[in-house]
Amino acid sequence: MKSDYSESVFRRSQKVIPGGVNSPVRSFRGVGGAPVVITRGRGPRVWDVDGNEYLDYLASWGPLIAGHAHPRVVLAVGQTAAKGTSFGAPTLGELELAELITQAMPSLEMIRLVNSGTEAAMSAIRLARAFTGRSKIVKFAGCYHGHSDPLLVKAGSGAATHGVPDSAGVPAAYAQETLVADYNDLSSVEVYFDEWPGQIAALIVEPVAGNMGVVPPTNSFLQGLRKVTEDNGALLIFDEVITGFRVAYGGAQALYGVSPDLTCLGKIIGGGLPVGAYGGRRDVMEQVSPLGPMYQAGTLSGNPIAVAAGIETIKLLQEPNVYEQLEAYSATLATGLHEAASAAGLPTTLNRVGSVMTLFFHPGPIQTWGDVAASDTKRYAKYFHGMLERGVYLAPSAFEASFVSTQHTQDDIKQTIETAAEVMRGLS
């Protein structure tokens, strides 16, 4: 594959943008090599500046469930832009998106639109602290909720101790308010509620973990979190930035039948444009300014063009059999990849929920952060580059997810499996 134009553009970018990227995981540091510079997308495909074509399973890290440049999304964005780009005032579009989301997810009695998943999670944490009057929060190792200070925290020295910063610039005093538990291990949560009675405002969780690779909740884990938070007067926050409208139209809360007190959303609800949201119980959301004392604001929150893309994308997901097709094609892909790996004698585990999945080079099962950390990331990097060279674009990190869109065809899936089989034969 020719890549000299990508390489020259990336060299220029590195002079003016840290690492040449506007988000670290795009840098390919997780898999080595230099990223390709993408110039356009259409349906399930993207092209780079050297003219190379790729079958895309990154989907911009999840938002593009309806594929790139969907005609209906492009038309909605264009028609909206022609009437103005932003007013800083109430609009019909933000109301329509708010009503679509709250109708899809009944636990969201009220919702506030913001501009990213980070803003959604940051605001939900502040709201939970305002509502309960408590300061501690519980999160899970391996789960990611954006880059706000309270959430860039890793586990402290031992169980039941406070967290430590997971980034330079996060004061230890902030990190101490965050307690880090182990995903799929309810006892690691219970110990915190015993250690800090009446002090934990909320627990935030990805109901299907997607940021350590895909790790689904084991049976009764989510139900257990619902009970332990309820029993201790803490709020349960589902971070559905990845899973919202992805694993089901009503998100993971519909799929697993567990109702959180607050939900964070992003990615798909913007259809590729910057939209995030947080919402939930009316009595909690009524604490949000201007109704209540918890302040949160944003110049471009509910931006007309962004919400137009989100509305059209969600409407596309209301069409008949959309999720049945996503499930069928994703299941075929998952089975094909796993069989290709087995045929090449490679131990792999493929974790999947609907159209979001991760292939781990590890015999499995993969149910905890510890299992993930033991997977073969070097072999994943070779697999990633082998697929990229053959025109298949996966997540450039072993700890991320790949996504099937409504625009991938059965032939695309078949081609992907054949390509993977060829690459894996070279890995064993």
Catalytic residue annotation:
144, 239, 267
For position 313 contacting ligand KE4 by CB under 6 A, the verdict is no
Chain positions 185 to 214 lying near ligand KE4, rule: CB under 6 A, are: 206, 210-211
**Residues contacting ligand KE4: total by CB under 6 A:** 19
Residue 145 CA to residue 237 CA, distance in Å, equals 11
Say how many Å lie between the first and final Cα of the chain, rounded: 23
Alpha-helical (H) ranges within 63-186 are 71-81, 92-104, 117-132, 172-175
Residue of 4, 15, 16, 23 interacting with ligand KE4 (CB under 6 A): 23
Contact 401, 214 (CB under 8 A): yes
Q: How far is CA 194 from CA 53, 180, 201, 228, 401, in A?
A: 54, 14, 14, 11, 34
For position 427 contacting ligand KE4 by CB under 6 A, the verdict is no
Q: Which is nearer to ligand KE4, 136 or 145 (CB)?
A: 145
Residue of 266, 304, 336, 396 interacting with ligand KE4 (CB under 6 A): 266
x/- track of binding to ligand KE4 for residues 221-250 (CB under 6 A) = ------------------x-xx--------
The least distance separating ligand KE4 from the CB of residue 37, rounded to whole angstroms, comes to: 16
Residue of 30, 142, 146, 354 interacting with ligand KE4 (CB under 6 A): 146
Give me 7's structure tokens.
Answer: 């390489």
x/- track of binding to ligand KE4 for residues 112-141 (CB under 6 A) = ----xxx--x--------------------
The least distance separating ligand KE4 from the CB of residue 418, rounded to whole angstroms, comes to: 28
For position 145 contacting ligand KE4 by CB under 6 A, the verdict is yes
Q: Which is nearer to ligand KE4, 211 or 330 (CB)?
A: 211
Chain positions 27 to 86 lying near ligand KE4, rule: CB under 6 A, are: 61
Run of H or E including 115: none
Which residues lie closer than 8 Å to 327 by C-beta, 6 or more apart? 354, 355
**76: burial class by Cβ within 10 Å (0-12, 13-18, 19+)?**
buried
Identity of the amino acid at 417: I
For position 25 contacting ligand KE4 by CB under 6 A, the verdict is yes
Residue 53 CA to residue 8 CA, distance in Å, equals 19
Chain positions 369 to 398 lying near ligand KE4, rule: CB under 6 A, are: none
**218: burial class by Cβ within 10 Å (0-12, 13-18, 19+)?**
middle
The least distance separating ligand KE4 from the CB of residue 400, rounded to whole angstroms, comes to: 5
User: Got the DSSP string for 380-409?
Assistant: HHHHHHHHHHTTEE--SSTTS-EE--TT--
Which positions lie near ligand KE4, rule CB under 6 A? 23, 25, 61, 116-118, 121, 144-146, 206, 210-211, 239, 241-242, 266, 276, 400
